[in-house]
Structure 1
Amino acid sequence: MGYTPSENLPLLIETMKRACAALDDAGVPAMLGGGLATWARGGPPTDHDVDFYLREDDAPKAHDALAAAGMGVSTPPEGWLLKAHDGEILVDLIYRPAGGAIGDEHFARATPMELMAQPVLVAAIDDVLTTKLMALTEQEPDFRSVLELARSLREQIDWDFVRARTETSPFAAAFFTLVEGLGIAPSGRVDPPVPLQSRFDRTHAGEPTARERLASA
C-alpha cells in the first residue's frame, strides 16, 4: 500500500516510539537517524523507514529487543545492518553505514530531543548527510533527497565537517558543486597563497623604488 510522506509520518512515529521504548528497556544505546532525524531538526517529512544508528556490538541485543516487542526480525545479507518489521513499517538497525562504523564520536555529536512526547537521541545532521552522500553509487546516483536535506537545513550543517568526511567520494564532490552553485552552501574553494613578492608589490604599489628615490635625492 502506498502512502504520501504526510500520511505515512504518523505510522513512522508510532513505530519509532515502540522501538525506542524497546531499546531503552533493553539498555541499548541508539540514535534516531535517516529521514526522521532530519524531520526532527526541521527538515521535510519522510515516507521511508525508521533508522537507528548503534554500535555493532549492540546490534544483536537490539534485534532481540525489537523481536520481544512483537516485531518481525530478519538478518539481511549486506552485513552492515539488521532489520525489523512493525506491520508495514521497516526498522533498520544500522551499525556500519557507508560513512564508517558507528562509534563513540557519533553519540557525542548526537542531541537528546523530545519528538512527539518521546525522549530520543537524534543523530547529528552532519552524520546523517555524510551517510547519505557516501551511500550514493553509480547504480543509485539520486541527489534529490540530499539536495532537499541541504536546502532545508543548510544553517545547521557543518559544511567543512561533511566535506572532510566525504572527500573520497566523487558523488559527494558532485553534490558540493551543486550546492555551491545553487547558493545553498558556501564555497569550499581555497585560494592559493599569494607569493611574498606579489604581496610586497601589491602593498607598495605606487611608491617609488629605491633607485628612483636615490635619483631624486
Structure 2
Amino acid sequence: MTDENRAALREALRCAASALKDGGPPFALAGSYGLWAYGAPEPVHDVDFVVAEPDTEAAAETLAKADFIVDRPPEDWLFKARPIGAPDVTVDILHRVNGRPIDAADLTEAQQCDVLAIRMPVLPPSAILIQKLRALGEHDCDLAALLPATRAIREQLDWDRIEDDTCENPYAAAFLTLVARLGLREKA
C-alpha cells in the first residue's frame, strides 16, 4: 500500500466518523480499522463501520450530505460509501454481520477511543475478532491474515468469550487451536 492510499483511507475514516458523529445515527468503528484502534497493524483494504439495521437509511443520508457517494451493492447487509474525489477508497457501513442484524445493544458495548484525533465508538476487540472468525468458511479461510492483528492485541481479548461465541464454526476452532499452539493464548 502506498502512503497516498493509506492517507486516503485514513481521511475517509475521519470524514465518515465526523459526519456520523455530527449527523447520526449511532455507529461504531469495526473491522480491521477497529482492531487497529487497539494496536493491531493498519489495514490496507477498506474502513468498516456498523450501524443498527433500522438506522441504515439515516446513515446513508448523513454520508451523502458529507460528500460521499453511496453505493448499494447486491449484498443486502451493507452499503458502500466512497468519498467524492477518491473512488478507490471504500467505507463499508454494515447493518448486518454474519447474518445477524446489528441492533442498538450491539453499539452500547462500543468503547470510546481516540482514532486519528477523533473520539469515536469502537467495537471491543473481542467482538470484532468474533465477527471475523464467524465469517470464516471453506471459500474464505485465510487464517494467516488474522494472525498479525491477533498477536498484536492478544492481551486485550476475552478468549473465553471468543471461544464460546464461535464454537459452532470449525474454521474458528482451527484458528483458536493455531493461536494456542503458537502461544498467543493459554490452552483451553
SS of the aligned residue for 1:137 comes to coil
Aligned length: 185
Aligned to 1:29: 26
Paired residue for 1:84, among 73, 81, 101?
A: 81
Question: Do the aligned residues in 2 keep the contact of 1:154 with 1:184 (CA within 8 Å)?
Answer: yes
One-letter code aligned to 1:53: V
Matched, 1:52 2:40: no
1:131-152 Cα offsets, whole Å, 9 max, x none, are 1111111111111222122111
SS of the aligned residue for 2:101 comes to coil
Distance in 2 of aligned mates of 1:99 and 1:9: 30
Question: Do the aligned residues in 2 keep the contact of 1:99 with 1:131 (CA within 8 Å)?
Answer: no
Distance in 2 of aligned mates of 1:78 and 1:93: 12
One-letter code aligned to 2:41: P
Question: Do the aligned residues in 1 keep the contact of 2:25 with 2:58 (CA within 8 Å)?
Answer: yes
How big is the shift at 1:99? 7.0
How big is the shift at 1:30? 0.4
Question: Do the aligned residues in 1 keep the contact of 2:82 with 2:89 (CA within 8 Å)?
Answer: yes
Change (3 A) 1:75 1:157: same
One-letter code aligned to 2:79: L
Aligned to 2:122: 122
Unaligned 5+ segments in structure 2 are none
When normalised by structure 1's length, the TM-score is: 0.80
One-letter code aligned to 2:71: S
SS of the aligned residue for 1:84 comes to strand
Distance in 2 of aligned mates of 1:102 and 1:25: 21
Change (3 A) 1:120 1:36: same
Identity, in percent, stands at 38
SS of the aligned residue for 1:153 comes to helix
Distance in 2 of aligned mates of 1:185 and 1:103: 30
Question: Do the aligned residues in 2 keep the contact of 1:52 with 1:94 (CA within 8 Å)?
Answer: yes
Higher relative contact order (CA 8 A, sep 6+): 2
SS of the aligned residue for 1:85 comes to strand
* Bigger Rg, structure 1 or 2: 1
Aligned to 1:131: 131
When normalised by structure 2's length, the TM-score is: 0.92
Where do residues 132-171 of structure 1 align in structure 2 (5 Å cutoff)? Answer: 132-171=132-171
Unaligned 5+ segments in structure 1 are 189-217
